[in-house]
């Protein structure tokens, strides 16, 4: 009986010690909201507890807090170039980029992202570092190759691929993605549009040529020595 009581007491002490160690470790995970960083616009989750303690929750782990029973509120944010954008805008942009992977939602996503490209800082970084986004844009470009000869490109097809080209121009003009854009030989996908040997002078073809030239022009408008 005595040995059983001693054993229970030791287990209780070990549990208390473990609880204290966990609380001490968790409290060290608290970060200053201004210190949240992300690479290439990678989204992070800022954790805000009831006592205003903040931290960064990683995927698949328990969010950091100052106590095990503290209620948490997960606030998705994104860090781009040292600036944290609003949660709603971030969610909307990330949703549109994700919609590029679905063929049924891609056309609308292309149109919306093309409209927002001038207003969203570091959209190029988000596109370049988002899984499948650039591949989806290239798929749009390749899909109209058969319409070059014979010349069957219509206005709807032209508008869609021009939106994809506008997003590539955004990537080509950004200082953080321009080098990788060139190293990946993305401009090679535009050459068929620049070398179209077709007598057609219709607007769909002209828009396609001009937008392709805009991507090339974005690459040369830089002071970088490469």
Lowest mean pLDDT among 12-26, 34-48, 87-101, 146-160: 34-48
Residue range(s) of every CATH 1.25.10.10 domain in the chain: 87-220
Mean pLDDT of 160-189: 97
Indicate the burial class of 167 (C-beta count within 10 angstroms; 0-12, 13-18, 19 or more). Answer: buried
Q: What is the mean pLDDT of residues 119-142?
A: 96
Q: What's the pLDDT tens digit per position in 209-220?
A: 999 999 999 998
CA 30 vs CA 19, 33, 63, 75, 125: distances in Å: 18, 9, 10, 15, 27
The pLDDT mean for the chain works out to 74
- SS3 per residue for 75-113: EEEEEECCEECCHHHHHHHHHHHHHCCCHHHHHHHHHHH
Q: What is the pLDDT of residues 44-97, one digit of tens each?
A: 433 333 344 444 443 444 444 444 444 433 334 444 444 545 678 889 999 999
- Work out the number of other CB atoms within 10 angstroms of the CB of residue 84: 16
Q: Is the pLDDT of residue 26 over 60?
A: no
pLDDT over 60 at 25, yes or no: no
Q: What CATH topology corresponds to 87-220?
A: 1.25.10
First and final C-alpha spacing in the chain: 81
Asked if residue 223 lies in contact with residue 175, where contact means CB atoms within 8 angstroms, the answer is no
Beta bridge partners of 45: 57, 76
């Amino acid at each position: 009986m005595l040995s059983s009581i001693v054993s229970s007491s030791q287990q209780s002490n070990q549990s208390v010690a473990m609880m204290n160690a966990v609380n001490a470790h968790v409290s060290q995970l608290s970060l200053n909201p201004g210190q949240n960083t992300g690479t290439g616009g990678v989204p992070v989750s800022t954790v805000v507890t009831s006592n205003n303690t903040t931290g960064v929750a990683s995927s698949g782990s328990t969010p950091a807090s100052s106590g095990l029973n503290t209620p948490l509120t997960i606030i998705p944010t994104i860090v781009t170039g040292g600036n944290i954008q609003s949660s709603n805008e971030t969610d909307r942009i990330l949703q549109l980029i994700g919609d590029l992977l679905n063929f049924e939602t891609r056309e609308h996503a292309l149109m919306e992202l093309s409209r927002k490209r001038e207003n969203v800082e570091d959209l190029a970084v988000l596109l370049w570092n988002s899984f499948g986004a650039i591949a989806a844009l290239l798929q749009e470009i390749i899909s109209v190759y058969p319409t070059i000869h014979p010349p069957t490109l219509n206005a709807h097809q032209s508008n869609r691929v021009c939106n994809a080209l506008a997003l590539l121009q955004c990537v080509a003009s950004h200082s953080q993605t321009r080098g990788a854009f060139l190293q990946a030989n993305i401009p090679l996908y535009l050459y068929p549009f620049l070398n179209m040997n077709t007598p057609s002078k219709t607007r769909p073809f002209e828009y396609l040529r001009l937008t392709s030239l805009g991507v090339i022009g974005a690459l040369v408008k830089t002071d970088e020595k490469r």
